[in-house]
Chain A
């Protein structure tokens, strides 16, 4: 089984992002960048499949500007076999990313694609589902458990009321949720080794995919801020305030 994992370079989750001066976009010029946390979970799952012998090859792919190869290298250091960078300076929307991934999947005949369920920058939660649609494949989204048995995969998914278990024949798409696994820390020797692993660069044009945008970001702004309230001394005062001042109990 050949596994592809998509990894996105995003502003680190500890950075508080703000609009830029003219409110046309966010200000992230010097922000610390990291691999999207859900994608780390997706990489970890693929590496474990490799280690368990269910995956024969595990490939990491990122899409975007040249610096995105950093997160591909991180994935290689975690244990992925090789990397692909689809390089462009254009802003890529989830639908475009799905189209580019579909082109790669068709070129290389992957059996399973694992993606993070959501990127923590645009919070779209779309790409995996869109990729499954474009390929006509089944989708196991928001996965908390994945079990591969020959050419079938059983996926337990997080739902609003608990969990749901699905089973489908490969090829298919899985998107990772928080509880799927705990990603490993990358060890220094593996970072060195990762530098020697192959990383192919390709452009959207070479994949014959139209990357024009469907959405325009008109403006970005800070949300209305909530101001802090007061500290109360004890439970008695709190209940009194909730009852007589806020009138919510």
Chain B
């Protein structure tokens, strides 16, 4: 059995979600190949070769793969699938875009967003916004799987020494043309990797008021997240959305401010180690899962929290 992991990266760095997928792969087999498909991405391949658990790095370095267009990358993965029993990719936006296309081309089912591996053909995955965990068995000889990164410890990024093999690449198929990427500029840590996340909901009331979270996030070195309600209301961009249809996070500390705690939001954060809720409604469902709750007006509590953190920084 050999597993092929498709790496999430940005042509210069390996994304940490890839390390979680490698851990999942090593639970299936000792033979784990890692595909780096991109353009001018040899630095990613070098980093990938050092990851513990990786047997072989496959490098597909060509302009056609620069923007991770599924139309170009899927045929490459299909070509490399032979000789592998499992194809894994983290359930990032790229993974969700690419892997079903791969699975359909191979005429096999996909298992999305798995959180545990029971056996080589049996996996656990959340359904109904995480209200239920399904144990699903694949009858296909080749398993196509996306992996929830927060459910697996990241593989050690150092200590491995895999060989790097260049694989044959293809021209751009011309089905789809990349126009541009608009990347949200932020000096904050990646939402899915941050140790502390401060999230805001409808209770913030406006885009301007989201700035109040910034001060608190600055003090904690935190990433900023949001509920779907806050995204729907146009307070923040969608890449901050935490929940069933957004990102799944599991930081050491998650602070939910003005978030009522709809099940769809909980689906994206309930694996956090410590959860804090700030809400004026003492019956808000978020308090049922929060380790520490404060009932009150967030516009009073946020500045008080920032001030208190200043004090604690200066403690002897």
Contacts and interface: CB of A to CB of B under 8 A. Distances in A.
Interface of A: 11, 13, 16-19, 26, 38, 93-95, 98, 117-118, 120-134, 136-142, 144, 154, 158-168, 177-179, 213-223, 226-236, 238-239, 241-243, 246, 248-249
A118 B245 contact: yes
8 contacts: A123-B244, A160-B239, A164-B67, A165-B180, A166-B178, A178-B231, A215-B136, A218-B136
Contacts of A131: 104
A188 to B, nearest CB: 26
A124 B104 CA distance: 14
Given A121-B127, A138-B175, A18 B292 contact: no
Interface string B129-164: 111111111111000000000000000000000000
Contact of B131 (A17, A38, A154): A17
Given A216-B137, A239-B305, A19 B132 contact: yes
Interface of B: 67, 69-71, 74, 92-94, 96-105, 107-113, 122, 126-140, 175-184, 192, 196, 220, 228, 231-232, 237-239, 241, 244-245, 247, 252-253, 263-264, 270, 273-276, 282, 287-296, 301, 304-305, 307-309, 311-312
Contact of B292 (A16, A168, A226, A238): A238
A92 to B, nearest CB: 12
A249 B104 contact: no
> Secondary structure of the A side of the interface?
mixed
Nearest to A137: B175
Given A232-B294, A238-B305, A141 B132 contact: no
A180 B131 CA distance: 27
A232 to B, nearest CB: 5
Nearest to A218: B135
A216 B109 CA distance: 11
B18 to A, nearest CB: 13
B182 A162 contact: yes
Contact of B130 (A137, A161, A168, A223): A223
B129 A120 contact: yes
B287 A217 contact: no
Contacts, number: 265
A222 B133 CA distance: 6
A219 B112 contact: no
Q: Which of B67, B179, B264, B282 has the most CB of A within 10 A?
A: B179
A13 B103 contact: no
B104 A167 contact: no
A156 to B, nearest CB: 8
Contact of B182 (A18, A133, A163): A163
Contacts of B270: 226
A28 B134 CA distance: 15
A6 B316 CA distance: 62
A142 B290 CA distance: 31
Contact of A164 (B74, B131, B178): B178
A164 B182 contact: yes
B135 A220 contact: yes
Given A126-B112, A130-B101, A230 B294 contact: no
A235 B111 contact: no
A92 B295 CA distance: 45
A231 B179 contact: no
Given A178-B231, A238-B292, A168 B175 contact: yes
A214 B309 contact: no
B184 A161 contact: yes
A245 B288 CA distance: 19
Nearest to A117: B245
Q: Which of A229, A230, A232 has the most CB of B within 10 A?
A: A229
Given A142-B97, A178-B228, A213-B139, A94 B178 contact: no
Q: Which of A18, A122, A238 has the most CB of B within 10 A?
A: A238
